[in-house]
Structure 1
Amino acid sequence: MIVLKGATAALALVLLTAAPAHAAVFVTAAPAHAAVNNPPTISDVKLYDQNACAAQDAPTVIPGAASVYLSAEVSDPDTYSPQARFAIWPVDHPDQRQVVVGSVSGYSGPARKEWRPSEFAHGTVLAFQAQATDGTNVTDWSAPCFMRVDAVAPAKGPVVSSAEYPADGSFHNGVGKPGTFRFDAEGDPDVVAYVWRSSSNPQTVIPAPAPGAPVTIEYTPTRDGIVSLYVTALDAAKNRSPETSYTFAVREIRPGIALDVAGVGLPGTLRLATGATTVTSFGYRVGDAAEIRVPAVAEGTSQVAAEVPLTVTAKGEVTVTARSFEGDAPLSQATKTFTVSDAPRVTSDDLLWPGTGGVAGRESTLTLTPRSADVATYRFTAGSEPTRVVPAGPDGTAVVRWTPPAPGTVAVTVTSLTTTGTVSDETHVNATVLDPVPTITVAGSGSWPPVDGIGRPLTINIHSPAPGIASYSYHFNDGPELTAPSDSGGAYITVTPDHAGDNTLRARTHFSNGTTSAERTLTFQVSDAPIITSPDYPEGTDAGGPGIPGTFTFHPAQPTVHSYTYSYEYGDDQTVTAAPDGTATIVITPDSEGWKTLQVTSHNADGTPSDPREYNFTVATAPSSATKAKK
């Protein structure tokens, strides 16, 4: 077929339509182009996860609640992304036919369409077929394929059992020992497969040898304790039954491996132990060396063990593999890797954990123990101090006496040198050094609004974390030296300032061994806010009542108080002149019950204000009319 395209075709059509029947029409234009459109092809119509198109008497079983993927191979040499139309209908209701479309990515390949059969009842047999289209040409419909909706899952979860690992609450068999587990659908003809998983195994599908028939798997526990298998039965549509949880307990039969590594070239101890009391011997090998068998010895009634000497000849990682045996039959195996270092061991009764800590200015000792043979000397460095060379004794150990100069955490580095000059790896430890000089803490100092003041007692804590403290001595301002016994929190003392501004407390620590620390001095500020007293409304108590007047006296904390400003219940400021002794008295008559606040500031003759003082009191509840009448 020759096709006229574009403006040429349009002009020809106009001329032919408008011209009289007897007229001659001449069209002069560019030559026409012939366009050839090859039709698509379609093949291999089926469900995506099936091997072939199913016949009507053996339809593919599909789930009622999940999706299926309709699939066909489509090819078109001159059209990109041709489509496949899929028609689906119940075989007994062709009038319910529906069509869905899937596309190809490219010129050829599979066209797939996700589709859900959820609108169809359980047991419905559906037919589907496909045709390809490139937008112009359409193929014939393919022969139909068939599928049956299965919307009912197996009703019961499979029964799970094991002879080696029964689910009876007791510990059985052991880690690394395989067991057989039977999954049984009890003849349910719907069941065609089982799915099982555990915490250490991904989901695995096991086909049933026949519908409803049981299967047996082998499973080897990799840890002791409580283990669970989770098993589900599948029907042909992959509908899942309820899940069965099978829980059992596994004994720890692997040999425990402990290696006390004394060091490189020094004798150590290898210990093997197991709770499987039927074990009669252990075998062990170091690295790739040959296995050595040793007898197992009972330790009480619940464990057998063996200890053997073992010397490691080189630093680095060493792997020990151990097996346990019942007679000549191997029971279980374990492997453990240890890191061997020749860095010396550093210990101290006080400076290092679990010691309480050393004390600045007090001598402590550290013991250096070799982790290699033939150690002659050690290099010892504490903080920024110069490195010391310490000779080793005949047994290779050395004791370092060290007096920490200051409190804090001090990094200590130690290496050993052998008689041949070999330098070991470094040992790094942190020494804890405590401050014997006590800290001083004043409760309430610097609070705002101020709670301290002249004549107001202050609680002071004197404390040092150093061990062996008997007591503390202290001076408050220019007062005499006083002593307070120590307890776990230090010592708590009470002082009463007699002036505002700078106040000083000096304290020392006294140890049980008769030594005394240096003195700590703390200078702190005592507020110059005026002191307020009231016999009618004492601070912090319930008193008086609405309409009952109360006197309030302001006492100076500044040297030359001239006046006071005050406000009651955050009202306007009022001023009262001070008497020659610096005091002033006012009268307040509360008009209601409850919590009240009086704020007062004193002023010197030159106008210098003090800190403000806040005085809080509670006006008692007014008595009832009946109570008044009775009185």
Structure 2
Amino acid sequence: MRRYATVAALSTTALVAGLAPRAQAASAPTPPTVTDQGLLNPDRPCGTQADHPSAGQFTMFTVHTVGTNPPPSPTTSFAMWPDGHPDQRTVIGSSIGANPRLQVDLRGYADGTVLAWTAQASDVSGPGPDGAVCYLTVDNTAPPTPLVSSKKYATANYPGTGGAGVPGNFIFDTGGSRDVTSFEYSVNRMPVAAGNPVAAPNHPGGRAKVSVAPSSSGSEYVEVRSLDAAGNASDWTKYTFYVRDSAPFATIDNAGIGLTSHIRLQAISTDVTSFGYTVDGGPETRVPAIGQKATGSLVFTSAGTKTIVEHSYAGKKLAGAHTDRIVVTDAPGVSAAADPISGRPETFTLTARSVGVVAFKYDFGGDQQRITADADGSAKLSWTPPAGGTYTITVTSVDGAGHESTPAVQTFYVIDAHPNVGINDTPVLGQPIEVFLWTDVPGVTGFVYTFDGGTQQSVHGPNAAVDVVPRHAGDSPFTAQGVLADGTLTPPTTIQLSVPDAPGVTLTGPYGNSAVAGRPATFTLVPPTQDVVGYQYTLADGTSGTVDEATITYTPADPGYGSLTVRGVHRDGSLSADTRVDYIVLDPQIDTWGIYENGWFAFSGDLMDVTVTYLWHVNDGPVQETPADPDGYGTFVQYAAQDGENHLYIQRVFTDGAVSPLQDVSF
């Protein structure tokens, strides 16, 4: 039975037809050749018939092409056949470029099969000669999974052993298999840019030893698999271990350049007797631990990112390690005592981060100012923010020779002492509008406010909302102040509620601010100015007219949606801007539904909250009175009826005593 390979090519292409004519070359073009044939991952050379490598599963063929012709790049075809059967030569794929590769699936061949392969490159000048014939022996059998052990990290249970940053040796054992050529491993499956590390056994069938320093305490693991000469890999073996929580952690007070900084060290483990720390790989400074804590000093001599490695020790034994990176700069420190508030003096503390500082230069985005430093290299800067908002302060320190430091730039937010006042809707004459009050000023317990010259009123809380009603067109001022716990007031904020020159309209139906079909509704009109003597109006159904009084009464015929557009008529006959009011017309009719064949009805619909009683009967039966269910989705009633067509007659009584029209529902 003929064997064949399934091929997955990394990249393939065809020569482009209809190439443009080329200039006549000085000599005839030379087709490309192939050299440096071999196998990748692991790397193996082109084998001879007598001495060749093994390969299995997905194997990568590679060659190098040599040619002098202009682009496009050569296309290289790869061919393969069983050794001794050149008549079974098959092109298994192609790839483009100076270093083409082709991945070949050898799983269709039995172990021990010897295969021959070669490659041929071609370009615009035609095909070149075949490369050398290379040989390989198929090996699709994976090596055995490795055995993993560690004396330092021998347990997977709490509290564990070792410590974060404490190296431990891990042994990878072939179990005596001479097929294993190397071990691939990873720690906690952390990605490595160059790929997972690989370790070779000390001899065929032997073991490999690697050193691993866990990055943190707690449960960690190492994953390992065996590799053979053909590139086959075993399944992964996962070795889990528990790292003792004995590494130090540090807090570093970074004072800057040339000044004494301090490091505070601490560990959880009770057997820690001392700590050590290094800066940028320099000599270690050791300090004794008292109650698992210690303090040390550092002096940074230059700016930049510094790597500080801390160690904890139990006697002379390393118990753990931790690494911190900090940025050292001579830019001065800038801090404020509290959140700045507009109009209130704020104090900034400026701190030198280099030696010999005699002054500071600063600005808030305007002209630069100078302030003299105290003997300890600090200064207190008082500044009163003129308004709320975002500010940026830039500060440099100046030494005795006039040298300036790197600038410290700090952006901060100033709380506006004035309360925030706002509305979400457009004010409408005669209609309540909600005004929102809020502030970030600490200690505000509420607000006092006035509207349009009215009396002062109050509301509690640092965030509040109040309703006011505009009584005339134009601007109406709203003024608010925050009330502090001691009774003092913040500066005021005033906004104008601008009401257009249009009438105010309020709808009053029989049961609130919605109309009801078949029932009169009243629109109350508020004149925008005192010289309005009448109104022109138009309803959605086309009804229009002029009224002198301040009300319009209208009875909508059908449920749904309606609208009223109205303008004020001034004394001189001119018209104001119009006001349009959209409203809902509710349906007094009753929705009836239910499982009729089971003898039940349910009554529901609009106006359920003002329905008192349902009056109903089936056919010529007696009238039933059923109280409306005020809490449910409907009122359920039981009935009796004969077979065939029946009729339900139903009305309802509202809270004002009105009765809805009689409905005849056949079922």
TM-score over 0.5 for the alignment?
yes
Which runs of 5 or more structure 2 residues have no equivalent in the other structure?
1-31, 68-73, 593-646, 653-661, 663-667
Asked whether the equivalents of residues 364 and 401 of structure 1 are also in contact (C-alpha less than 8 Å), the reply is yes
Per-residue deviation, residues 243-302 of structure 1 (Å, max 9, x unmatched): 2233334346555454424566655433334445544334456679865543222x2xxx
Give the C-alpha shift of residue 531 in structure 1: 1.6
Question: Given the alignment, which residue of 458, 463, 476 partners 2:433?
Answer: 458
Q: Which residue of 2 aligns with 1:30?
A: none
Shift of 1:484: 1.0
Does residue 192 of structure 2 align to residue 218 of structure 1? Answer: no
User: Does 559-568 or 285-294 show the bigger shift?
Assistant: 285-294
Q: 1:576, 1:615 → 2: CA distance?
A: 19
8 Å CA contact 1:41–1:139 kept in 2: the answer is yes
For 1:90-169, list aligned pairs within 5 A. 94=85, 97-100=88-91, 116=104, 118=106, 120-123=108-111, 125-126=113-114, 128=116, 147-154=136-143, 157-166=145-154, 168-169=156-157
Q: Which amino acid aligns with 1:408?
A: G
Show the counterpart of 2:581: 613
Q: Is the 8 A contact 2:419 2:437 kept in 1?
A: yes
Please, which runs of 5 or more residues in structure 1 have no aligned partner?
1-39, 76-80, 447-451
The one-letter amino acid paired with 1:180 is N
1:269 to 262, 265, 272: 262
Provide the residue aligned with 1:433 in structure 2.
Answer: 414
Question: CA contact under 8 A between 2:450 and 2:457: conserved in structure 1?
Answer: no
Number of the residue aligned with 1:316: 303
Alpha-carbon contact 2:65-2:121 (below 8 Å) kept = no
2:349 counterpart of 1:348: no
1: distance between equivalents of 2:378 and 2:62? 81
Q: What does residue 181 of structure 1 align with?
A: 170
Q: Distance in 1 between matches of 2:127 and 2:477?
A: 105
Q: 1:495 aligns with which of 457, 468, 478?
A: 468
- The match for 2:564 is 599
> What code does the residue aligned with 1:466 have?
V
**Shift, 1:425, TM fit:** 5.4
1:505 corresponds to 2:478? yes
Question: 2:288 aligned with 1:295, yes or no?
Answer: yes
Residue 576 (1) aligns with residue 545 (2): yes
**Is residue 273–residue 314 contact of structure 2 (8 Å, CA) maintained in 1?**
yes
Aligned match of 2:630: none
Give aligned pairs, total: 546
Partner-residue secondary structure (3-state), 1:358: coil
**Mapped contact 2:52–2:137 kept (Cα < 8 A):** yes
How far is the alpha carbon of 1:335 from its aligned partner? 6.3
Percent identity over paired residues: 24
Q: 1:411-490 maps to which residues of 2 (within 5 A)?
A: 411-414=392-395, 426-430=407-411, 432-445=413-426, 452-454=428-430, 456-480=431-455, 482-489=456-463
Secondary structure at 2:579 match in 1: coil
Q: Alpha carbons of 1:324 and 1:620: their partners in 2 closer, same or farther (altered >3 Å)?
A: same
Using structure 1 for the length normalisation, give the TM-score: 0.69
2:175 is the counterpart of 1:172: no
Residues 617 and 159 of structure 1: is their aligned pair in 2 closer, same or farther, counting only changes over 3 Å?
A: farther
Change (3 A) 1:627 1:242: farther
Shift, 1:369, TM fit: 4.8
Q: Larger C-alpha radius of gyration, 1 or 2? A: 1
Asked if 1:358 is matched to 2:341, the reply is yes
Checking the alignment, whether the CA contact within 8 Å between 2:214 and 2:243 is kept in structure 1 is: no
> Does the 8 A contact of 1:265 with 1:311 survive in 2?
no
Deviations 1:400-421 (A, max 9, x none): 4433333333333455566787
The 8 Å contact of residues 47 and 53 in structure 1, kept in 2 or not, is answered as: no
Distance apart, 1:374 and its partner CA: 7.0
Q: Tell me the residue number matched to 2:555.
A: 587
Q: 1:189 to 1:385 in 2, by over 3 A?
A: closer
In 1, Cα distance between the equivalents of 2:564 and 2:142?
A: 81
Q: Is the 8 A contact 2:34 2:121 kept in 1?
A: no
CA contact (8 A) 1:378 1:417 kept: yes
CA distance in 1 between partners of 2:331 and 2:101 (Å)? 68
CA contact (8 A) 2:331 2:407 kept: yes
Q: Which residue of 235, 240, 244 corresponds with 1:242?
A: 235
Which residue matches 1:25? none
Contact 1:164/1:172 (CA < 8 Å) preserved in 2?
yes
The answer on 1:61 being equivalent to 2:48 is: no
1:434-480 CA deviation, whole Å, 9 max, x = no partner?
Answer: 3223332234225xxxxx331x2222223333233354333221322
> Offset of 1:218 from its aligned partner?
1.1
Tell whether the 8 Å contact from 1:61 to 1:147 is kept in structure 2 after alignment.
yes
Query: Relative to structure 1, is the Cα distance of residues 505 and 176 closer, same or farther in structure 2, using a 3 angstrom cutoff?
Result: closer
Query: What CA distance in whole angstroms lies between the structure 1 residues aligned with 2:186 and 2:308?
Result: 32
Taking structure 1 as reference, are residues 232 and 529 closer, same or farther at Cα in structure 2, changes over 3 Å only?
Answer: farther
Q: Name the counterpart of 1:566.
A: 538
Cα distance change, pair 343–191 in 1 and its aligned pair in 2 (3 A): closer
C-alpha distance in 2 between matches for 1:484 and 1:379: 46
Q: Give the aligned partner of residue 390 of structure 2.
A: 409
DSSP 3-state at the match of 2:650? helix
Q: Which amino acid aligns with 2:648?
A: A
Contact in 1 for aligned 2:257/2:301 (Cα 8 Å): yes
Maintained 8 Å contact 2:165/2:322: no
1:231: how far off? 2.0
Summarize the Cα distance change of 1:89–1:467 in structure 2 as closer, same or farther, 3 Å threshold: closer
Equivalent residue, structure 2, for 1:550: 520
